[in-house]
Amino acid sequence: MINVCIVGATGYTGGELVKILIKHPKVKISSLYAKLDKQPVYIDDEFPSLKGKIHLPCYNFNPAKIPAGAEVAFLAVPHTVAMDLAPLFIQKRIKVIDLSADFRLRDTRVYQNWYHKKHNQPHLLKQAVYGLPELNSSRIRKANLIANPGCFPTGTILGVVPVIGNTTGSILVNATTGTSGAGKKASLALLFSECSDNMRPYKVFQHQHQPEIEQELSAVAGKKITVRFVPALAPLTRGILTTIFMKLNKTITPSNIIKQYRKFYRKSPFVTVLPYGSFPQLKDILKTNNCHIGLKMAGKDLVVVTAIDNLQKGAAGQAVENMNIMFGLPREMGLT
Amino acid sequence: MINVCIVGATGYTGGELVKILIKHPKVKISSLYAKLDKQPVYIDDEFPSLKGKIHLPCYNFNPAKIPAGAEVAFLAVPHTVAMDLAPLFIQKRIKVIDLSADFRLRDTRVYQNWYHKKHNQPHLLKQAVYGLPELNSSRIRKANLIANPGCFPTGTILGVVPVIGNTTGSILVNATTGTSGAGKKASLALLFSECSDNMRPYKVFQHQHQPEIEQELSAVAGKKITVRFVPALAPLTRGILTTIFMKLNKTITPSNIIKQYRKFYRKSPFVTVLPYGSFPQLKDILKTNNCHIGLKMAGKDLVVVTAIDNLQKGAAGQAVENMNIMFGLPREMGLT
Amino acid sequence: MINVCIVGATGYTGGELVKILIKHPKVKISSLYAKLDKQPVYIDDEFPSLKGKIHLPCYNFNPAKIPAGAEVAFLAVPHTVAMDLAPLFIQKRIKVIDLSADFRLRDTRVYQNWYHKKHNQPHLLKQAVYGLPELNSSRIRKANLIANPGCFPTGTILGVVPVIGNTTGSILVNATTGTSGAGKKASLALLFSECSDNMRPYKVFQHQHQPEIEQELSAVAGKKITVRFVPALAPLTRGILTTIFMKLNKTITPSNIIKQYRKFYRKSPFVTVLPYGSFPQLKDILKTNNCHIGLKMAGKDLVVVTAIDNLQKGAAGQAVENMNIMFGLPREMGLT
Amino acid sequence: MINVCIVGATGYTGGELVKILIKHPKVKISSLYAKLDKQPVYIDDEFPSLKGKIHLPCYNFNPAKIPAGAEVAFLAVPHTVAMDLAPLFIQKRIKVIDLSADFRLRDTRVYQNWYHKKHNQPHLLKQAVYGLPELNSSRIRKANLIANPGCFPTGTILGVVPVIGNTTGSILVNATTGTSGAGKKASLALLFSECSDNMRPYKVFQHQHQPEIEQELSAVAGKKITVRFVPALAPLTRGILTTIFMKLNKTITPSNIIKQYRKFYRKSPFVTVLPYGSFPQLKDILKTNNCHIGLKMAGKDLVVVTAIDNLQKGAAGQAVENMNIMFGLPREMGLT
């Protein structure tokens, strides 16, 4: 049994991690931490749907009390917080899967630009592996520190990467997300009264996930890739529908483009490429770790639509997938 | 033109007041106040749907700057705050329509019990008129201080009062409301992620509107009336559906009970009693000042269902209706 | 492995059965039937979230092709249809779990009154066991034909039955349901545009589940119990929140009433009685077979609120629970 | 008073027309028609929110009974139906505002391609004016037959047309709509249970509004414009948020692009160009005839987002705007 700690267990992502891991046949959750006014808080009081399944206290994180025997820590904390926590685990030889953005951007200047704080672990950053298993599974296997991808980057990169070598010009992305993506925080903008019957774009061309997408796509393409990223909020709790427009450098037949995508994902248990001209809908992938991809061409214009659950493939599910790989388990374990 | 001030203009109720009053043919809004970190805030920046209709600054309330010429002030502030503001207007001979609970409960001990603060204006409380026009229109006409009814009391009292003399035992109420009833405040419990796909009862038998309902029904009945009140929150922005069970002291035929209700409301422009056995739905009354009532009997058991918009008949609409009565205008003016 | 057939596999309840049963460690689904214009339809085309988990064709039901070896048939078909199908299985010694209403009402005249068709299997009706495991588990164990309870009766009976001996007068019920309760059928009244931002009561005192509730409660009480039942539709896909008002024949202390409920359900794995004065919310039980119960007294007035998922404990989940009991398996198998 | 007929009064668009026109100071609704099983149906029975405001019967359309004195007919009927009705009014010198697609596409072959029926009024088609007042107000003034624009074309064209002369390559559009856009028809795909918690693209590159957008933009540009159109359905009743990506042939400064848009719309009372980098949200324009436009550039990539209400500016509101222009009234009359 893998001995697991979770830091940030009471947020939406942390709660999702708990829900997945209590069903995982090879995991034992040993400690839960959260930022609490009053401690302990029992996790099944925080998430009553867990009643009868797990009854474990959450405490404020205290590095002195990291349990002996812990093998992996999930950090489901806000960005700029995780970089202070990761080394505390790493130095005890506990693997870290960081669900924040702190170890995703390899260039510390880019990090500081977008997250407004100087990165204080540049050495650790060099060891971090970007945890998108469809791209990096062999490096994930050997990693001690995983930068678990952002929700929007997951939905976007999976839609683009099989044809990244064929694209020309900017990659144009319109991604619509549910409200849980913003985390469990009291905010006027996230009230039911504000979000119901409403849709709004936000952080247009300014979302912190844009450089993350560009970094990963550029690395695969071997050239600088420019992404124009327009996120929007819809009256959904979960799910991201990502619509991607690309210009290809040649026309490709429907059957060939489908082949290209399916070949790329032939070993990816969680990615399904739909038949040409069929498009995904959120309800088919909600509460799963799956990514469904639909695509269609018109001339050299390609549109790709991907659907993921932001708390699963976009966060906690993918984190567990990374853990499975790091510990030599089947990638799907606990996730289907 | 009636010269109007609004205190608390940036909340949901205050915003609704502005939306109603800018279309009112006999009203001029002269000043807007709100609790602001930074002032002024323009009302059409706070509610962009008002762009092009009104462009007026909101300031923090300052009694020294109450405009000369003001004739009526709407207080759309939290309870326990309004009782400090009302006398500042009253002493300048400005009429007050208080949308908070501060002047609704006539017994200061009951007020203190439910609102956890000693009432500091017992003298003013004696002048206040409970502003339910269906009950008190002649007293409203002469009032200088209106206690505008709560949203749940409006929906409940209108459903009960025509048969209050025929009831025996407790009046049992299950009222479901949308999230705007809780006001525009950042709260985890009111997040879209928490309210969507969810329903929950709250403050069962402990809601502060229960004594208000009992007080008004007892006054009409001339005896103590007991109400058991169970509110619940549903994934709605606006609207209250109130289901009321009563035991009558005799059977009444369908046609007679309908007659009794319709006779009671024959002069009430905003109340519609549906045909026997027909029941209201929220979407027929949303964004109107109307109350639809449906009812049905089985033996001596009577069920009544009422539907109102919590921000209109349950708050701002009824407040304007009260203003119309106080200023000798047709009750419906600006409200249809 | 239990060899299972499902008739009506493409509806909401049928789909939920498939979703539960493919994870059940002791079940093999052998045949799926549905009312189809064109056959076969693959179940994972109908419910794409099943892709990769089950790929089985649905055909129109043909009694000549009931597979040899079938041990139990779930009938997820409309009422008045099931009574024609049940005998076809029973005569082949295949157990039947009927999720329709056809074998729930023991009096054929009552059935005809509420379902507008003469019951054509009165003999079979006598063998049917009402499949509410909290009441009838020993009879379910030996049954060949289960009348799986309606969704509203499940939520109501579980809330009432522990104190049924202490009640006087009518039991007053206001139950709010999501739209999946009406089944997967094209209907103007169930359109998103009609249901969103809306709530409406329907079939007040005329819902066909009212006599079912009265029958079962009367059987337990040993006297005629009268129920006044007011269902309402809310903007929810799944879930039923049932608010029940009862008058008791004596006052009971908070701790005693909780004890009485918990004692009644001490062997019921799916029922949780919350602490006194705490009330359930839908999101804690959605997509589970659980029923959460909250209660509170005021004088002799008792309010009980229950929360269930209409497709799970209110239909498919409870059906599988019944199957488990009939086949000597642990009641929770495949359901947690 | 303008004497008005409405054909198709019981649909969502027809109902919206009635709601607008009963408040219009210069309109008298003389006749309502709809496709009815049983006639007459009173319009306020169909839309109970109209109770007390209008009580007029709807009949099946009968050309023999077009009232004497009718001056304008609104056709809110399905496409392929309107082309049979329009000539019946035109020949009686009654102006027609057709809200269907039947007179929008000037090339009858294109019409037949997309709407699968041969156009039977090519002569009338030549007289028809495309009723987008921001482009064609002077021709609308003199028209007898208005082809009222589609909802998606309105939201898209208004976002593109001020810079159409500066664009190169394909115009890429991702437009998300609420469910009322599909009309009031019983459909499994439009059930609350199917649309809530869901989003799905549909008719990707195959939506019948794509050629309409291309036709109008090409006409303004004086060259063939190619549009790639990806519509999607979100859990909204009303509203369309349209995200448009364009490549410009030069960089334009933020202040200049805003100037270019504002200059284009300086006489358009319903279009608001937001400050550079600000983007619209649906709730600011719901139930209004307004279009809000936000935009931002990155290099030569321009993204424009527009928000309209599909039943108002996207259908009934714009139809009334066209009527106002045709009858020499202020464009905003009855619409603010």
pLDDT of residue D336: 86
Whether residue C188 and residue D190 make contact (CB cut-off 8 A), yes or no, is no
Q: Are strands A240-248 and A301-308 parallel, antiparallel or unpaired?
A: antiparallel
Question: Are residues B216 and B156 in contact, defined by beta-carbon separation less than 8 angstroms?
Answer: no
Whether residue B187 and residue A186 make contact (CB cut-off 8 A), yes or no, is yes
State phi, psi for C284 to the nearest 5 degrees.
-75, -20
Whether residue C301 and residue B243 make contact (CB cut-off 8 A), yes or no, is no
Higher-confidence residue of D309 and C67: namely D309
DSSP D170-196: EEEEEEEE-GGGG-S---GGGBHHHHT
Question: Are residues A136 and A300 in contact, defined by beta-carbon separation less than 8 angstroms?
Answer: no
Which chains touch C (3+ CB pairs under 8 A)?
A: A, B, D
Which DSSP state fits C93? T
pLDDT of residue B152: 98
- Structural domains in chain D (count): 2
> pLDDT tens digits for D23-82?
999 999 999 999 999 999 999 999 988 988 999 999 999 999 899 999 999 999 999 999
Q: Is the ipTM of this complex over 0.90?
A: yes
Whether residue D199 and residue A303 make contact (CB cut-off 8 A), yes or no, is no
Q: Is residue D184 part of a domain?
A: yes
Cα B283 to Cα B97, B310, C295: the distances in Å are 28, 12, 31
Nearest to D286 among A197, A202, A282 (CB): A197
D235 in the same domain as D143? no
Find the closest chain B residue to D23 by CA distance.
Answer: B336
How far is B174 from B152, CA to CA, in rounded Å? 10
Residue C288: list chain A partners with CB under 8 A: 49
D7 in the same domain as D110? yes
Whether residue D284 and residue B196 make contact (CB cut-off 8 A), yes or no, is no
Range of the domain at D281: 152-310
> pLDDT tens digits for B269-292?
999 999 999 999 999 999 999 999
- The pLDDT mean for chain A works out to 96
pLDDT of residue C247: 97
Q: Is residue A207 part of a domain?
A: yes
Nearest to C192 among D185, D186, D235 (CB): D235
**Who contacts A161 (Cβ-Cβ below 8 Å, separation ≥6)?**
A134, A135, A217, A220, A264
C181 in the same domain as C146? no
DSSP B19-77: HHHTT-TTEEEEEEE---SSS-EEHHHHSGGGTTT---EEE---GGGPPTT--EEEE-S
> pLDDT tens digits for B159-195?
999 999 999 989 999 999 999 988 888 899 999 999 9
pLDDT of residue A212: 98
Residue B227: list chain C partners with CB under 8 A: none
pLDDT of residue C182: 87
Annotated active-site residue in A5, A58, A151, A291:
A151
pLDDT of residue C256: 97
Find the closest chain B residue to A180 by CA distance.
Answer: B193
Average pLDDT over residues C319-333: 98
D291 in the same domain as D178? yes
D94 in the same domain as D131? yes
C76 in the same domain as C139? yes
Q: How confident is the model at residue C17 (pLDDT cuts 50, 70, 90)?
A: very high
Residues in chain D, pLDDT under 70: none
Nearest to C284 among A49, A286, A288 (CB): A49
Whether residue C53 and residue A336 make contact (CB cut-off 8 A), yes or no, is yes
Q: Are strands D27-33 and B167-177 parallel, antiparallel or unpaired?
A: unpaired
Helix ranges (H only) for C167-316 are: 192-195, 209-221, 254-264
How far is D1 from D333, CA to CA, in rounded Å? 13
Nearest to C179 among D187, D192, D236 (CB): D192
Find the closest chain A residue to D233 by CA distance.
Answer: A281
A58 among known catalytic residues: no
The b-or-e profile of B8-35 (16+ CB within 10 A means b, else e) is: bbbbbbbbbbbbbbbebeebebbbbbbe
Q: Is residue D130 part of a domain?
A: yes
Q: Give the total residue count for chain C.
A: 336
Closest listed residue to residue B36, CA positions, set B11, B59, B17, B66: B59
pLDDT of residue D203: 97
Q: Is residue B120 part of a domain?
A: yes
Residue B281: list chain D partners with CB under 8 A: 48
Calculate how close chain A gets to D150, using CA atoms only, in Å: 21
- Find the CATH number of the domain harbouring A193: 3.30.360.10
Closest listed residue to residue B74, CA positions, set B4, B149, B153, B128: B4
Calculate how close chain D gets to C193, using CA atoms only, in Å: 5
Average pLDDT over residues C52-72: 94
A253 in the same domain as A296? yes
Catalytic sites of B, residue numbers = 151
Calculate how close chain D gets to C235, using CA atoms only, in Å: 8
- The pLDDT mean for chain C works out to 96
Question: Are residues C175 and C310 in contact, defined by beta-carbon separation less than 8 angstroms?
Answer: no
Average pLDDT over residues C53-81: 95
- Find the CATH number of the domain harbouring D144: 3.40.50.720
Q: Is the pLDDT of residue B80 over 90?
A: yes
Pairs of residues, one from chain B and one from chain C, whose beta carbons lie less than 8 Å apart: 136
Q: How confident is the model at residue B264 (pLDDT cuts 50, 70, 90)?
A: very high
C224 in the same domain as C254? yes
B275 in the same domain as B131? no
Q: Is residue D334 part of a domain?
A: no
Q: Are strands C2-7 and C27-33 parallel, antiparallel or unpaired?
A: parallel
pLDDT of residue B222: 96
Q: Is residue C336 part of a domain?
A: no
Residue B44 burial (C-beta neighbours within 10 Å; 0-12, 13-18, 19+): middle
C158 in the same domain as C115? no
Q: Residue C4: which H helix or E strand, with range?
A: strand C2-7
Q: Is the pLDDT of residue B92 over 90?
A: yes
Question: Are residues A207 and A229 in contact, defined by beta-carbon separation less than 8 angstroms?
Answer: yes
Q: Is the pLDDT of residue B49 over 90?
A: no
Within chain B, how many helices (H) and strands (E) appear? 11, 15
pTM: 0.96
Q: How confident is the model at residue C308 (pLDDT cuts 50, 70, 90)?
A: very high
Residue D299: list chain A partners with CB under 8 A: 170, 226
Rounded to the nearest 10 degrees, the angle between the axes of helix B209-221 and helix B151-160 is 30
**Who contacts D237 (Cβ-Cβ below 8 Å, separation ≥6)?**
A197, C192, C193, C196, C197, D178, D179, D180
Whether residue C192 and residue D197 make contact (CB cut-off 8 A), yes or no, is no
Dmax over CA atoms of chain A, in Å, equals 61
B286 in the same domain as B215? yes
pLDDT of residue A51: 84
pLDDT of residue B182: 87
pLDDT of residue A98: 98
pLDDT of residue C336: 86
pLDDT of residue D182: 87
DSSP B181-245: GG-S---GGGBHHHHTT--EE-STTT-THHHHHHHHHHHHHTS---EEEEEEE-S-SS-EEEEEE
How far is D6 from D33, CA to CA, in rounded Å? 6
* Residue of C22, C45, C49, C197 best to disrupt the A interface, most CBs of A under 10 A: C49
Residue C301: list chain B partners with CB under 8 A: 170, 172, 228
How far is B264 from B268, CA to CA, in rounded Å? 8
D200 in the same domain as D107? no
> pLDDT tens digits for A79-126?
999 999 999 999 999 999 999 999 999 999 999 999 999 999 999 999
Residue C194: list chain B partners with CB under 8 A: 283
How far is B275 from B81, CA to CA, in rounded Å? 42
Tokens found for residue C211: 């006599």
Pairs of residues, one from chain A and one from chain B, whose beta carbons lie less than 8 Å apart: 62
Which DSSP state fits D313? I
In Å, how far from its chain's centre is CA D127? Answer: 19
What is the CA angle B19-D183-D51, rounded to 5? 50
In chain B the first and final C-alpha atoms are separated, in Å, by 19
Q: Is B82 helix (H, G, I), strand (E, B) or coil?
A: helix
Nearest to D272 among B51, B196, B281 (CB): B51
Calculate how close chain D gets to A299, using CA atoms only, in Å: 10
pLDDT of residue A49: 86
* Residue of B204, B213, B246, B304 best to disrupt the C interface, most CBs of C under 10 A: B204
Q: Is residue C252 part of a domain?
A: yes
How far is A230 from B183, CA to CA, in rounded Å? 31
Q: Is D318 helix (H, G, I), strand (E, B) or coil?
A: helix
Pairs of residues, one from chain C and one from chain D, whose beta carbons lie less than 8 Å apart: 62
Calculate how close chain A gets to C286, using CA atoms only, in Å: 9
> pLDDT tens digits for A231-276?
999 999 999 999 999 999 999 999 999 999 999 999 999 999 999 9
Helix ranges (H only) for D128-280 are: 133-142, 151-160, 192-195, 209-221, 254-264
How far is C94 from C91, CA to CA, in rounded Å? 7
Q: Is residue D332 part of a domain?
A: no
Cα B246 to Cα A232, B28, B249, B299, C244: the distances in Å are 48, 44, 10, 11, 14
